[in-house]
Structure 1
Amino acid sequence: MKIVVVGPGAFGIKHLDGLKNIDSAEVVGLVGRDAAKTQAVADEYAIPNVYTSLEEALESDADAVILCTPTQMHAAQAIACMRAGKHVQVEIPLADSWEDAQEVLKVQEETGKVCMVGHTRRFNPSHQYVHNKITAGELNIQQMDVQTYFFRRKNINAKGEPRSWTDHLLWHHAAHTVDLFAYQAGSKVIKANAIQGPIHPELGIAMDMSIQLLAENGAVCTLSLSFNNDGPLGTFFR
């Protein structure tokens, strides 16, 4: 499969590292706004084509596109990819509004192209271990209690570089747990309650959140998230 990766930042590079392990995957293009930076990454990964716009890349013979772009671009770019005849994987979240998410679904149904979201946590070895136990009838999820704690005061990525978008507890962290809960419970979420703390004056985001989920089969999830964790344990997810 011929693939174009959009976004040569921290997560784009994670995808490129992963794709090297898949014999049937060939990265044929890399898209980035900074031509020099994008070319440098392309040279490192032996990617033959560099583009500065998604529109240009969609004219290629690629089969699929992986979007590692700012959140606010996800829905429109996913739709553009499918309408151009490409399968697409979108980094979380699929969209930052219900209306946009529904439009992506509509276009997926119209085109028949694969549109998948990067909910990778369910594939972690520890979660697969639990899931296999559930599938075998040895375990049953009655309540999932999750804590996601960071200390964040600067808008930087995993490489320590400034982001062009702002990390968000709901869109970029809670989204993983919502998916994992539905996956492990084997039941769709039918009710959600959420509250958030004060908005940070510079980052413009809530630094603390609490979320409750109820699955159709009665399973419950309690999720606590914070960017204010400066304790002795440091950053952790459990």
Structure 2
Amino acid sequence: MTIKVGIIGCGSISTHRHIPEYQENSSAEIVAYCDIVQERSDELAAEFGGSSYSDYHALLADEAVEAVSICTPNYLHAEMTIAALKAGKHVLCEKPMATSLEDAEQMIAAAKASGTKLMIGHNQRINEAHQAAKQVVESGQLGKIYSFKTTFGHPGPEGWSVDGPDSWFFDKKRAFIGAMGDLGVHKADLMRYILGEEFKEVGAMIETSAKANATVDDNAVLILKTESGIIGTLSASWAYNGEEDNSTVIYSEKGVLKLNADPEYSYIFINADGEADKQQLGEMQTNDEGGQINSHTIDAFIQSITEDTTPICDGEEGMASLNVIMKAIESAETNTITRI
């Protein structure tokens, strides 16, 4: 069974992540590309084969297309996803899934009404070290979880985006939120996933201090508290110049668990006696040279279609993670601890 796929949005996230991973998946075939700058979709269609469109409605009308990746600026996610679901296409939508909770709810409703799959691209869930961490937390091997710190920061999207310093990432009208939506929502989703709990309170400090051309946040630090009382910090930044940081540390009764915090070992558990268990459990995707490894996000999406299973991060999960970030914004704006 081969799923015919259309790519909507032919910028960096599609050319560096989605397209290569679809090409590596034997159960998927890209048959259509769409970009408002049609030269981009034309080039991809000419190189790899398939149709090229400048209007996403035309791609959705293509009966050959069974599933789509939405790789467009944030403000278009909901509109395009809902249209695709109503057209009977399965959807993999980049994060953040929407720019409001109301839009996220409509996306979920459209998926239910059409009977199609909606997956949000929170690929950190799929990382091997994160999968192992979720298992040990669920098993109780760590004992009581006390605290955590999780970080995602790099020098910024200008070195990554096809539009460079003029990227939509810096424009509030198109991006809605900056480093929080680009990076922070990933970590909010990851901690919900690993801890198996919802956050109930957030206190946030959010700044625009590193990018002169930005009308969105580029530095944020959140303090979060779960339903059971686990407290921790989440940092998201476009100002980590010199080295990317995509690490998570969990502090527990039985010891300290470090995830993707060491250049050689992605999983390190240091028990209460100071003894270390170090494991190489795959790498994290990065924007650095050589960092474009397969995240297996596409594999998970295609598998959910072919096996008719719930995606690893469906619409409800995507909305819950978005809600954490939305409440963090409220906290920063009101200078209060906000209930989630």
TM-score normalised over the length of structure 1: 0.88
Match of 1:18 among 12, 21, 25: 21
Extract unaligned runs of 5+ from structure 1: none
Q: Which has the higher helix share?
A: 2
The equivalent residue for 2:58 is 56
Matched, 1:183 2:193: yes
Residue-pair matches, total: 233
The equivalent residue for 1:193 is 203
Matched, 1:85 2:88: yes
The equivalent residue for 1:70 is 73
The equivalent residue for 1:222 is 233
What is the root-mean-square deviation in Å for CA atoms of aligned residues? 2.1
Q: Describe the superposition over 1:182-226 as per-residue Cα deviations: whole angstroms up to 9, x where unpaired.
A: 100112223222221246552112232111222223333311223
Match of 1:237 among 232, 246, 270: 246
Q: Describe the superposition over 1:142-185 as per-residue Cα deviations: whole angstroms up to 9, x where unpaired.
A: 32201223334xx6252664354115111111110011001001
Extract unaligned runs of 5+ from structure 2: 171-177, 248-340
CA contact (8 A) 1:10 1:157 kept: no
The equivalent residue for 2:10 is 8
Name whichever of 136-145 and 109-118 sits farther off. Answer: 136-145
Matched, 1:170 2:180: yes
Name whichever of 29-38 and 87-96 sits farther off. Answer: 29-38
Matched, 1:106 2:109: yes
The equivalent residue for 2:146 is 142
Name whichever of 105-114 and 52-61 sits farther off. Answer: 105-114
Give the aligned residue type for 1:195: M
Query: 1:25-36 counterparts in 2 under 5 A?
Result: 25-36=28-39
Q: Secondary structure at the residue paired with 1:151?
A: coil
TM-score normalised over the length of structure 2: 0.63
1:56 Cα offset (Å): 0.1
Identity of aligned residues (%): 25
Give the aligned residue type for 2:218: M
Structure 1 CA distance for aligned equivalents of residues 122 and 146 of structure 2: 22
Give the aligned residue type for 1:190: K
Structure 2 CA distance for aligned equivalents of residues 151 and 86 of structure 1: 36
